[in-house]
């Protein structure tokens, strides 16, 4: 592919080796070749031979450019919705009470099992589009509403298909250990055995699994069960991540750190031992302000302790029907700042550089840097902080993926 130049932009590279907030380069230029960044810097420093080899030029007209945004935690493939449960909860029932009464996740499992592949695809595509319209170029998608072999694999196939048919990089997580299916009532250990021996191997054999996730919680799986699943995953060479410390301190983050997990997610109840374990394990802390908001939680994740320990922080929608029916990553930037007191620069790093690390894509995505994928979002804003500041306003001008403007 011939070289193309993007000139006259203000680049929020998010590259920590570029000095200053947002790794900003004023009057910046990006040269793209074969879908990758072949040169990046000040327009004035553009090498002459490179300018002569250029087949096409695009004027950024002073607009800000960020890396393509990355939503690193979603359950976007699922059947149906839980709007009725939302109404129930507002008449007094708690999330845990609804879950224990067989509602909650199980009602989505029923709807997902009943939905064929095309139906799941169409519903997920409709939820993905508003994210793409906000400059998202990579997304993580979990299974976890099938809880049987057939439906778990179907969800993951739908996730892969979304990545093929839409302009977005999709990374999958196998979340069979999301909830206990009715067939295994009272037999959680047997279910973990079933996942480890049958479902995970089948999904991995079909190339459907990029990472393995679990829900370690009173209403999910115990620490010992999570450990056994992690052992099965790592035996297959798969990286792990974990829903941890959302509703109580189960020491999930300690386990995640021990397994050098890609991430531990939620973390409102994270204690000092968990922070230390994440730091030691090189894991990212994924904060999910949409679930915090929707469940009307009040306990804040320990952001100051995470900062102090040098644990990278990512932000995601947690798009799911029960606790975070959210399809706006820009809104999550705002909530990460207002609720969790992240700075706008930290929040933006949380949906670019650190989110790429969660998806094990740090070498190729997440910053505007030489050699990385030419995935970027172009914004009609005066400063990058506006992305976290406005609520309900989408200043996206265009999205470029692998060097090509996209239309979703
Ligand atoms: Zn989740």
The tens digit of pLDDT for each residue in 166-198 reads 999 999 999 999 999 999 999 999 999 999 999
Write out pLDDT tens, residues 307-338.
999 999 999 999 999 999 999 999 999 999 99
Å from CA of 296 to ligand 1 middle:
16
Burial 113-132 (b: 16+ CB within 10 A, else e): bebeeeebbebbbebbebbb
- Cα 74 to ligand 1 centroid, rounded to whole Å: 6
Q: How many CB atoms lie within 10 A of CB 287?
A: 30
Lateral strand order in the sheet of 239-244: 69-71, 136-142, 169-177, 211-214, 239-244, 263-266, 284-287, 313-315
- Mean per-residue pLDDT, 277-302: 97
Residue 67, Cβ neighbours under 10 Å: how many? 31
Find all residues with CB under 8 Å of 94, minimum gap 6, and list them.
Answer: none
In the block, which residue shows the tokens 């509703």?
247
In three-state secondary structure terms, 53 is: coil
Question: What is the distance in A from the centroid of ligand 1 to the CA of 63?
Answer: 34
pLDDT, tens only, 34-82: 999 999 999 999 998 888 888 899 999 999 999 999 999 999 999 988 8
- Could you give the 3-state DSSP secondary structure of residue 402? coil
Whether the per-residue pLDDT at 1 is higher than 80: the answer is no
pLDDT per residue over 217-257, tens digit each?
998 999 999 999 999 999 999 999 999 999 999 999 999 99
Q: Report the C-alpha gap between 128 and 140 in whole angstroms.
A: 11
- The whole-number average pLDDT for the span 328-356 is 98
Q: Which of 69, 23, 68 shows the shortest CA–CA distance to 316?
A: 69
pLDDT tens track for 5-31: 999 999 999 999 999 899 999 999 999
- 8-state DSSP, 22: G
Distance 150 CA to ligand 1 centre (A): 21
Question: pLDDT digits over 214-228, tens only?
Answer: 999 998 999 999 999
pLDDT at 52: 85
Distance 373 CA to ligand 1 centre (A): 27
Say how many Å lie between the CA of residue 142 and the centre of ligand 1: 8
Calculate how far, in angstroms, residue 9's C-alpha sits from the geometric centre of ligand 1. 36
Residue 25 CA to ligand 1 centre (angstroms): 35
Q: Where does residue 92 rank: exposed (0-12), middle (13-18), buried (19+ CB within 10 A)?
A: exposed
Q: How far is the CA of 242 from the centre of ligand 1 (A)?
A: 9
List of E strands, 79-237: 136-142, 169-177, 211-214
Q: Decide if pLDDT at 268 tops 70.
A: yes
Distance 5 CA to ligand 1 centre (A): 39
Span from the CA of 265 to the centroid of ligand 1 (angstroms)? 8
- How many angstroms is it from 298 CA to the middle of ligand 1? 18
Distance 116 CA to ligand 1 centre (A): 23
Confidence of residue 158 (pLDDT cuts 50, 70, 90): very high
Between 325 and 2, whose confidence is greater?
325
Residue 357, SS3 per DSSP: helix
Indicate if the pLDDT at residue 290 is higher than 90.
yes
Give distance in angstroms: CA of 212 to centre of ligand 1.
13
For ligand 1, the distance from its centroid to the CA atom of residue 245, given in whole angstroms, is 12
Ramachandran class of 310: left when φ > 0, alpha when ψ lies in -120 to 50, beta otherwise: left
Q: Is the pLDDT of residue 408 over 70?
A: no
Map residue 176 onto helix, strand or coil. strand
State how far the Cα of 211 lies from the Cα of 76, in Å rounded to an integer.
Answer: 16
Length of the chain: 408
Report pTM: 0.96
Q: How much is the mean pLDDT over the chain?
A: 95
Please, what is the Cα angle at 169 between 164 and 174, to 5 degrees?
90
- State in Å: Cα 75 to ligand 1 middle: 6
């Amino acid at each position: 592919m011939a070289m193309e130049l993007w000139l006259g932009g203000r680049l929020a590279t998010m590259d920590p080796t570029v000095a200053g907030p947002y790794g900003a380069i004023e009057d910046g230029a990006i040269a793209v070749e074969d879908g990758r960044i072949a040169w990046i810097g000040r327009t004035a420093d553009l090498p002459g031979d490179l300018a002569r080899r250029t087949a096409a030029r695009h004027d950024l007209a002073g607009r800000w450019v960020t890396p393509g945004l990355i939503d690193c935690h979603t359950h976007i493939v699922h059947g149906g919705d839980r709007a009725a449960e939302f109404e129930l909860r507002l008449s007094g029932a708690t999330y845990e009470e609804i879950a224990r009464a067989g509602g909650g996740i199980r009602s989505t499992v029923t709807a997902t099992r009943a939905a064929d592949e095309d139906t799941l695809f169409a519903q997920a595509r409709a939820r993905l589009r508003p994210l793409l319209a906000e400059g998202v170029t990579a997304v993580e998608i979990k299974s976890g509403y099938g809880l049987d072999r057939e439906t778990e694999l179907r969800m993951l196939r739908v996730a892969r298909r979304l990545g093929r048919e839409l302009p977005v990089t999709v990374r999958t997580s196998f979340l069979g250990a999301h909830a206990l299916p009715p067939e295994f009532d009272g037999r959680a250990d047997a279910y973990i055995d079933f996942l480890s021996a049958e479902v995970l191997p089948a999904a991995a054999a079909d190339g459907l699994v990029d990472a393995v996730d679990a829900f370690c919680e009173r209403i999910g799986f115990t620490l010992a069960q999570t450990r056994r699943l992690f052992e099965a995953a790592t035996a297959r060479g798969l990286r792990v991540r974990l829903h941890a410390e959302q509703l109580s301190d189960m020491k999930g983050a300690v386990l995640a750190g021990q397994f050098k997990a890609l991430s531990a997610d939620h973390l409102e109840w994270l204690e000092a031992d968990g922070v230390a374990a994440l730091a030691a394990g090189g894991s990212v802390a994924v904060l999910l302000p949409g679930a915090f908001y929707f469940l009307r939680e009040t306990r804040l994740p320990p952001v100051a302790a995470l900062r102090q320990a040098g644990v990278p922080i990512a932000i995601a929608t947690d798009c799911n029907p029960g606790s975070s029916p959210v399809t706006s990553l820009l809104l999550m930037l705002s909530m990460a700042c207002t609720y969790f007191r992240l700075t706008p620069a930290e929040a933006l790093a949380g949906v670019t550089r650190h989110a790429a690390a969660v998806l094990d894509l740090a070498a190729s995505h997440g910053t505007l840097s030489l050699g990385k994928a030419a995935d970027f979002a172009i914004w009609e804003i005066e400063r990058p902080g506006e992305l976290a500041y406005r609520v309900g306003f989408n200043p996206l001008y265009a999205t470029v993926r692998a060097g090509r403007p996209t239309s979703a």
